[in-house]
Amino acid sequence: MINLIKAEWFKLLKSFPFRILCLCNAASLITTAALNFLGSKGSTGYETLLISLGYLLHHSIIGYIFAAFFLCDEFSGRTFGMSLSCGVSRRKIFNTKVFTFLAGLLFLFLIYTGAVMFVATILNGFGKGFSIDIILLLLCGILGEIAMGSVMILVATIVKKAVITVGLGIGITYCLLLGKTHYLQTGIFPYIKYTYSFQIEQLMFWGENFSLGTFLAVMFLTVVIVLITAGFIFERAELK
Amino acid sequence: MAEIIVSAENLTKHYRKINALNNFHMEVHRGDVYGFVGKNGAGKTTLLRILTGRSRQTSGKIELFGKSDRNDLDIQRGRIGSIIETPAFYPGMTAKDNLEVLRLQMDISGKGCISDALKMVGLEEVSSKKVKDFSLGMKQRLGLAMALFGNRELLVLDEPVNGLDPEGIVGFREILKKLNVEFGVTILISSHFLGELSQIATCYGFIHAGKMMEEISAKELQEKSESYLVIRVDNAKKAAAILEKALPEYRIEIITEMKLHVHNFSGETGLIMKTLINADITVKELKAYNDGLENYYMATIKKITN
C-alpha cells in the first residue's frame, strides 16, 4: 500500500485544484488576520484557535471541494481502472484514497488553524498558559476534522459527481447548522446534539459547555460507521 | 494446445431489467490475437469491464491465468493492460506524469521505463505536454503506452481505433502485431472495423445478445469463407447443367433464373467462360467474391436471428 500512497501524494502535489485550495486557505487566513488587526479588541491566539476549530462552514466548503476533485473526478474520469490494473484490490485502493484524503484535509485544516492562531498570537498574545488542555483541544479538533472528512468521503462515494457532491455536502452542512440553531432556540429534535457537526461547533465552548466523552463517542462512531459504509459501497460500485 | 489465460464460464450480468451477458462462455489462449465481434449492445464492453475488475458479474465464473478466487483475480489483473472505451488519464498532468503515477503504483524502480514506453508509441517528443492538449490520436497512443506499461502479458482493448485517422489505424495495427509476434503478448480486442481486425486476429468470437454465438480460428474462417464466382447468364439452369458436367469439381448453385454461383472456385475464370460460350450460353457478368470476416459474421447473425 505504500506505493499506492506515494502515487496519491504525487497526484496531489501535481494537482492544480489542490494548490488553489491552499491559496483559498491563505486568503482566508489573510482576511482573518486583517480583521483581527483592524478590530478594536482583537482575539487572542487561544480565542482564535477555538473559533477556527469550530468553524464548520469554512472547513466543509474547503473539504467538499477537495473531495470533489480528489474522489469524484476519479469516478468520472475513469482513472480507478489505472489502479485496478496494478494488481491491487478495491479495498486497498479505497483505504489509500481515505488515508490520503484525510491527510490532505488535515494539512489544509492545520495550515489554516495554525496560521490564524499564530497571527492572532503575534498581534494580541496567546491569552492562556500552555497546558495539556491545549494539546487535547488540538487532538479533538483533528478528530473532528477526520469525522467530517469521513462523511465527505461517503457523500463523494455515493454521488460520484463533483458538482453534486459539493452542492449536497454544503447543503447537508447548512441543514445541520440550521438544525442546531433550531434546537438551541426551541429544544426540538435534541438528537442533533449527537451529530458530528454539532460536536465540532461545541469545540468553541471548550472548558465551558463541552462534554469530552460525548464528543469522542460521536466522532469515533461517525468515523467507523461512515467509512465502513463507504468502503462497502466502493467495493460494489460499477467503475466506468 | 497453448495455455488458457482467460476463460469465462456461465457468465451472467444483469443491469436492472437488461441481461447484458447471458450464460456467456469464452476461452482465450496464450499468444492469441482474439477478435471480439458483435453489434452495439451485444455485451462486449460489459465482458471486458468484468475481466478488468471495473464491474462484477451477477453469476458465473471467470479465470485469469488459471486463477478464479477474488483475491487472486485482483493480483492477476496486474498482468493485464487495458483500454476500455476511451483511454483514461489525468488530463491536467503531462504524459510523463501520467506514466509516473503508474510507475509508482506498480512499484517499478527507475524512470527509464517511462521514456521507453513513450518512445514505443512515438510520443517522446510531447512527453512534457499536458494530456488535455493532446489530439485524439495522441491520446489513443498514450492509452496504449499505459496499457502496455509494466510488461503486460495480456492486452484487453475495447474498440481502440475509434476516432483514429487511417494513418493512426495502420500505426496502431503495426504496434499490436509487433507486440504479439515479437513479445508474445496475448491480445483480446473488440472492434467494429472488421477489415482491420481480420488483418491481425488469429481467432474470433462472435457475441450476440449477451451470448457467445461462435468461436472460430482465423484458419477455419478462411476455409469457411470461401471464394466464389457470380455469373449472370440468359439461362442459369442450362448453364448449371453444362458446368456440372464439364467441371464436376466445382459446386454449382442456382440463385435465380439468370444467376448462379460457382463454389470451390480456384481462379480459373477463363475455363468457365470458354465452357459456357462453347455451349452458346450468353454470359452477361462474371465476378469473383470472397466472404471474408464481414460476410461470415453477417451470415452468422442472420442465421441466429432467423
pLDDT at B290: 65
Q: Is residue B303 part of a domain?
A: no
Tell me the residues of chain A between 86 and 115 that have a Cβ less than 8 Å away from chain B: 86-90
d(Cα B127, Cα B140) in Å, to the nearest integer? 14
Predicted complex ipTM: 0.86
Å from A193 to nearest chain B CA? 40
d(Cα A173, Cα B182) in Å, to the nearest integer? 58
Q: Is the dihedral of CA A191, A192, A197, A200 positive or negative?
A: negative
Chain B, nearest residue to A86 by Cα:
B78
Please check whether residues B238 and B110 belong to one and the same domain.
no
**Across B112-137, average pLDDT:** 91
Give me the residue from B49, B104, B146 closest to A7, CB to CB.
Answer: B104
Please check whether residues B258 and B282 belong to one and the same domain.
yes
DSSP-derived pairing of the beta strands B18-29 and B4-15? antiparallel
C-alpha cell belonging to residue B213: 454465438
Contact A80 B54 (CB under 8 A): yes
| Exposed/middle/buried for residue B120 (C-beta within 10 Å: 0-12, 13-18, 19+) | middle
pLDDT at B224: 72
What stretches of A45-131 show up as alpha helix (H) in DSSP? 45-53, 56-67, 73-77, 80-84, 90-124
Give me the residue from B56, B93, B101 closest to A236, CB to CB.
Answer: B56
Beta bridge partners of B252: B262
Residues of A in contact with B92 (CB under 8 A): 14-16
Residues of A in contact with B102 (CB under 8 A): 7, 82, 86
Q: Is residue B296 part of a domain?
A: no
Å from B106 to nearest chain A CA? 6
Contact A84 B105 (CB under 8 A): no
Residue type, B30: R
SS3 A91: helix
Please check whether residues B105 and B158 belong to one and the same domain.
yes
pLDDT at B302: 75
Residues of A in contact with B53 (CB under 8 A): 81, 84, 90, 239
Residue type, A135: I
Q: Is residue B297 part of a domain?
A: no
Domain range for B278 is 226-290
Please check whether residues B239 and B200 belong to one and the same domain.
no
Q: Is residue B69 part of a domain?
A: yes
CATH number of the domain encompassing residue B40 = 3.40.50.300
Average pLDDT, chain A: 89
Please check whether residues B97 and B237 belong to one and the same domain.
no
Q: Is residue B13 part of a domain?
A: yes
Average pLDDT, chain B: 88
Q: Is residue B306 part of a domain?
A: no
Classify A113 in phi/psi space as left (phi over 0), alpha (psi -120 to 50) or beta. alpha
Does this model's pTM top 0.90? My answer is: no
Å from B284 to nearest chain A CA? 56
How many domains in chain B?
Answer: 2
Please check whether residues B144 and B23 belong to one and the same domain.
yes
Å from A90 to nearest chain B CA? 8
Q: Domain boundary at B216, B244, B273, which?
A: B216
Contact A84 B56 (CB under 8 A): no
A70 neighbors A105 (Cβ within 8 angstroms): no
Quick check: A83 contacting B, CB < 8 Å? yes
Q: Is residue B182 part of a domain?
A: yes
Å from A159 to nearest chain B CA? 17
Say if residue A27's pLDDT is above 90.
Answer: no
Please check whether residues B93 and B232 belong to one and the same domain.
no
Contact A77 B90 (CB under 8 A): yes
Contact A11 B52 (CB under 8 A): no
pLDDT at A167: 95
**Across A115-119, average pLDDT:** 84
**Across A222-238, average pLDDT:** 96
pLDDT at B46: 94
Quick check: A72 contacting B, CB < 8 Å? no
How many CB contacts within 8 angstroms connect chain A with chain B?
Answer: 86
Contact B90 A88 (CB under 8 A): no
Say if residue A40's pLDDT is above 60.
Answer: no
CA dihedral A55, A112, A165, A232 (to 10 degrees): -100
CATH number of the domain encompassing residue B263 = 3.30.70.1650
- pLDDT by residue (tens digit) across A129-172? 888 888 999 999 999 999 999 999 999 999 999 999 999 999 99
Contact A88 B80 (CB under 8 A): no
Please check whether residues B75 and B190 belong to one and the same domain.
yes
Please check whether residues B199 and B233 belong to one and the same domain.
no
Å from B51 to nearest chain A CA? 11
Pick the residue of A79, A80, A86 with the most B CBs within 10 A to test the interface with B by mutation: A86
- pLDDT by residue (tens digit) across B39-68? 888 899 999 999 999 999 999 999 999 999
Instruction: Please state, for a pLDDT cut of 90, what percent of chain B lies above it.
Output: 55
Q: Domain boundary at B216, B251, B280, which?
A: B216
Å from B42 to nearest chain A CA? 18
Please check whether residues B23 and B165 belong to one and the same domain.
yes
DSSP code, position B129: S
Please check whether residues B151 and B194 belong to one and the same domain.
yes
SS3 content of chain A, % helix, strand, coil (to 5): 85, 0, 15
Contact B52 A84 (CB under 8 A): yes
Please check whether residues B211 and B232 belong to one and the same domain.
no
Residues of A in contact with B150 (CB under 8 A): 86
Q: Is residue B122 part of a domain?
A: yes
- pLDDT by residue (tens digit) across B187-242? 999 987 777 788 889 999 999 889 998 898 888 887 776 678 889 999 999 999 99
CB count in 10 Å sphere of residue B118: 21
pLDDT at A39: 65
Q: Domain boundary at B198, B216, B234, which?
A: B216
